[in-house]
Amino acid sequence: MKVSVMDYGVGNLHSIAKGLERAGATVEVVSDPALLLGSESIVFPGVGAFGAAMDILRPILPELNKHIVDGTPTMGVCLGMQILFERSEESPGVGLSAFRGEVKKLKSRRIPQMGWNDVVPEADPLFEGVPRGAQFYFANSYVCHPEEDVAVAKTEYGESFPSAVRKGALCGVQFHPEKSGPPGLRLLANFLRIAEESK
Amino acid sequence: MPLTKRIIPCLDVRDGTVVKGVCFKNLQSVGDPPTLAVAYQEQGADEIVFLDVKATVAGAATLRSAVKKTAENLFIPLTVGGGTRSFEDVRETLKAGADKVSVNTAAVENPEMITECADAFGSQCVVVAIDAKRDNDSWEVYTYSGTRPTGRDAVEWAKEVCDRGAGEILLTSMDADGTKAGYDIELTRTIVRATNVPVIASGGCGTIEHIVEVLTRGEADAALAASIFHYGQHTVADVKEALRAKGVPVRESVAE
């Protein structure tokens, strides 16, 4: 599976690229968003801010939205998950709107949520083979509030929020699988399998 | 279960090798960064901190190459600090494979840099390191690896860096650092209570009990330690077992 990883020009793409490669993907880091339009599958990594990321994607927004909702396997990680929604309290402007709902600031005194937290999954292919009780690494101040039934895992931090969402081969995770040791690598491999099977 | 408390082995790196000294002096070599980082990851470390203790402008490229090698086989977060002078330095360090960048002297001298970095890269990757030294009833911030007093109050500075967008504070007690007599509990708790971002306590760890203490009485979110791990005195797994026994939430290590 060839995965195009979007480079917003800020932050570390090394970890996500390496994690996907270890899970068996061929990774191409893409800094021109137009190149996402012909891609076999897409990963939106989790660094930066909502507004800055969307500024880069905005010129091709309608085409990119169509490419994703037409079934191109896509995974958003952390911020990458958030931009798959319609809007965010973090910045004005629309998101990719592949999931219905919005992104809101966490209701907790100490933010960002920074560290390893429990993820309670439903029986879902994204979590296949992930040991029960496995924890994942989070570094986020905002969380997604879907307005459709797409949550496949929940986490508590001041409030309960969906830490993973999935609709076919379109997935989002609020944690960083690439920074979450073996359970995270397993989850990336599961995404690749889901992507293969959706072809 | 709430967010788990993090155990963070620290690699103090000088000329490409991990060193350990007492009170920022008398440094001894203990190994190379990539090997130690992976060993700690396997022991169940929640994160790795890599600090360049003799950062120079000329050494920046060397440092980035060491960071890159260290990041190569890590699937846990990596924080890098030391010699980060500018916004561009932060960007380059992130590009080299760091997940977070810790800024100390540059943040004191140019506090706007904290906000610039938080806006561009997100607060979650901006760590402000504070080196604090007791001065009667308060603590003073020091810069340049603990050599230069700034006249700033550590508690006020900690609040300010939060307001400016820092996502985390790496708090080192200069009085405790290298003594192995325990973390400065009072300093740690004071900073934790004054701020609203996670606080990593550093300086003074000599026993597992010290870690338990700073994460409970000290109220820290994470504990950083170097020598107790470097000399094979204890593993990260030993520390977690002790914490679990005291009812402190820690991450379960899951085998591949």
- The CATH number linked to B131 is 3.20.20.70
What total number of domains does chain B contain?
A: 1
Question: B112 in a domain, yes or no?
Answer: yes
Euclidean distance between CA atoms B198 and B209, whole angstroms: 21
Of B3, B95, B122, the CB nearest to A117: B3
**Position B254 in a domain:** no
Asked, for residue B98, whether it belongs to a domain, the answer is yes
Question: A45-57: per-residue pLDDT in tens?
Answer: 988 888 889 999 9
Please give the residue range of the domain that contains residue A189.
2-197
Active site members of B: 12, 131
Six-digit token pair at A55? 């500024």
Indicate which CATH number applies to the domain containing A91.
3.40.50.880
Task: Give the ipTM of the model, two decimals please.
Answer: 0.93
Tally the domains of chain A. 1
Of B41, B99, B222, the CB nearest to A12: B99
Distance from CA of A28 to the nearest CA of B (A): 16
B99, B240, B243, best to mutate vs chain A, most A CBs in 10 Å: B99
Domain of B130 in residue numbering reads as: 6-245
Q: Taking CB atoms and an 8 Å cutoff, what residues of chain B touch A139?
A: 77, 99-100, 124-125, 167
DSSP percent split of chain A into helix, strand, coil, nearest 5: 30, 35, 35
Residue pLDDT, tens place only, A106-164? 999 899 999 999 999 999 999 999 998 899 999 999 999 999 999 999 999 999 999 99
Structure tokens at B37: 């980082």
Question: Does residue B110 form part of some domain?
Answer: yes
User: What's the pLDDT score for residue B57?
Assistant: 55
How high is the mean pLDDT of chain A? 95
Nearest CA-CA partner of B51 in B154, B240, B184, B177: B177
In a domain, B252, yes or no: no
For the cut 70, the answer to whether the pLDDT of residue B8 exceeds it is yes
d(CA A29, CA A18): 11
- B75 inside domain: yes
Residue B185 token pair: 């509990």
- pLDDT given at position B256: 46
Contact B99 A48 (CB under 8 A): no
Decide if B256 is inside a domain: no
**Helix axis angle, A14-22 relative to B60-71, nearest 10°?**
30
Asked if the structure places residue B255 within a domain, the reply is no
Judging contacts by C-beta atoms under 8 Å, the chain B residues touching residue A134 are 252, 254
Residue A93, helix vs strand vs coil: strand
Provide the pLDDT confidence category of residue B56 given band limits of 50, 70 and 90: low
